[in-house]
Amino acid sequence: MRIDRIELRLIEMPLLAPFETSFGVETVEEHLIVRVDGDGITGWGECVASEGPWYSYETNQTAWHVLRDFLIPFVFENELRAPQDFPKLAARVRGHNMAKAGLEAALWDWFAKGQEKSLAQMFHAAQQIERDSKIPEKITVGVSVGLQSSAQELVARVRGFLDEGYTRIKIKIKPGRDVELVRALRAEFPHIRLQVDANSAYTLADTDVFRAMDDANLLLIEQPLSNDDIFQHIKLQRELKTAICLDESIHSADDAEAALQMGACRIINIKPGRVGGFTQAIKIHDLAAQHNAPVWCGGMLESGIGRAGNVAIASLPNFTLPGDLSASRRYFRQDIVEPEFQVDTEGMMRVPTGGGIGVQIVMKNLDAVTQSSQLFRR
């Protein structure tokens, strides 16, 4: 069992519609694809850093540098017996969780294919709670809707997604475009599962904004205050009935424990990329279960490669809230995997059952979106 070739690609996939958040607008999704080869098996992973350091400090350029100069050599200089061996080696690198997670994902796929198991089977075997839990055939998924030009436009967009079958809607908010949007949606759709995501755009001085939406029956308020903050979220959560959910602030199971134990949030958004990979994501899932805190899987507008891993991890038992896992068509004209991810009329998505990520890479589509690539050998 030995990996002797690793390839990095920078890909650019145009989004069907611009995605606007409190930190900016994206029109093209730029990610890194990691391919590992050895023993006749190929593993694939996606690194969810972006073109700019807006959501986190990582960019595709920092991820490429950290992968090329540090993380890829770790794989060539050591014998890995399981995917969980990689984060132990990678721990020597401080931070750069997205770079780590992209390579770890490719290793999980490679090991899973070697054992003829699906990623969902691998993750269920690795978790510590409910070891005998069954892998669901399908999971309930949601859609994350970016800021629109007006409240009416947002209502129309949301109606479209509800008509497609989605049963949980998340909207992005930013100062000046918040309570009004929640009110407009509640007037049209009083009973839908609705939540908001601020992407760190507010301060404690804005507490009244959140009080004003506290009676709107929201599932949660995601990352209202500063990225990396725990302390101020404790103060805000004390003022609200609605659960706070942390995204940007949680980089590890230790962060999750601090936040849950001290009451900074009641729910955690798990993004494998943000926490350094599936190994750490499973630890957070287990820890949250011990705290009776629900988790759900966040998204980074992934291609089908990253989406496959997210869907597999979202099949674990404590992922009790629908994730930001939408159909390939919600993002892109054409995905780079086959079959594409689809959502049925009940708002559910199938969990792949094939080996590893359980979807095939469409090489001509991948080649068409590749901007640059580099090959590394043991």
Active site (catalytic) residues: 172, 271
Least CB distance to Mg ion at residue 245 (A): 8
Closest to ligand OSB by CB, 272 vs 299, is: 299
Position 197 contacts Mg ion (CB under 5 A): yes
Site string for ligand OSB, 186-225 (x = CB under 6 A): -----------x-x--------------------------
Asked if omega into 18 is within 30° of 0 (cis), the reply is: no
Bridge-based pairing of strands 41-47 and 24-38 is antiparallel
Position 144 contacts ligand OSB (CB under 6 A): yes
Closest to ligand OSB by CB, 197 vs 229, is: 197
Structure tokens at 118: 């699906």
CA distances from 212 to 66, 170, 217, 255 (A): 44, 18, 11, 29
Name which position in 299, 304, 322, 347 contacts ligand OSB (CB under 6 A): 299
Report the site for ligand OSB in 242-261 (rule: CB under 6 A): 247
Position 286 contacts Mg ion (CB under 5 A): no
Structure tokens at 71: 């993380």
* Residue that the structure tokens 């629900």 belong to: 294
Q: For residue 161, give the nearest of 345, 351, 350, 349 by alpha carbon.
A: 345
Q: Which does 273 bind (CB under 5 to 8 A by kind): ligand OSB, Mg ion, none?
A: none
Position 26 contacts Mg ion (CB under 5 A): no
Least CB distance to Mg ion at residue 181 (A): 16
Rounded Cα distance, 64 and 148, in Å: 33
Position 148 contacts ligand OSB (CB under 6 A): no
Position 20 contacts Mg ion (CB under 5 A): no
Query: What are residue 174's phi and psi, to 5 degrees?
Result: -150, 160
Q: Which does 178 bind (CB under 5 to 8 A by kind): ligand OSB, Mg ion, none?
A: none
Q: Which does 55 bind (CB under 5 to 8 A by kind): Mg ion, ligand OSB, none?
A: ligand OSB
Structure tokens at 162: 């509800």
Rounded Cα distance, 370 and 374, in Å: 11
Structure tokens at 204: 């404690």
Q: Which does 299 bind (CB under 5 to 8 A by kind): Mg ion, ligand OSB, none?
A: ligand OSB
Q: How many residues are listed for the chain in this entry?
A: 378
Question: Can you tell me whether residue 243 is helix, strand or coil?
Answer: coil
Closest to Mg ion by CB, 33 vs 297, is: 297
Position 332 contacts ligand OSB (CB under 6 A): no
Least CB distance to Mg ion at residue 298 (A): 6
Closest to ligand OSB by CB, 315 vs 326, is: 326
Least CB distance to ligand OSB at residue 74 (A): 27
Rounded Cα distance, 299 and 57, in Å: 17
Least CB distance to ligand OSB at residue 85 (A): 29
In this chain, which stretch among 175-183, 243-251, 280-288, 360-368 interacts with Mg ion, using CB under 5 A? Answer: 243-251
Strand partners, 356: 118
Rounded Cα distance, 318 and 220, in Å: 16
Least CB distance to ligand OSB at residue 373 (A): 24
Position 324 contacts Mg ion (CB under 5 A): no
Positive or negative: CA dihedral 28, 304, 130, 192: positive
* Residue that the structure tokens 């093209």 belong to: 28
- As a dihedral over the C-alpha atoms of residue 51, residue 57, residue 58, residue 61, rounded to 10 degrees, the angle is 60
Residue 335 near residue 365, CB atoms below 8 Å: yes
How many residues touch ligand OSB under the rule CB under 6 A: the total is 11
Q: For residue 310, give the nearest of 141, 168, 91 by alpha carbon.
A: 141
Name which position in 247, 286, 302, 335 contacts Mg ion (CB under 5 A): 247
Residues that bind ligand OSB (CB under 6 A): 55, 144, 197, 199, 247, 298-301, 324, 326
Contacting residues toward Mg ion, per CB under 5 A: 197, 222, 247
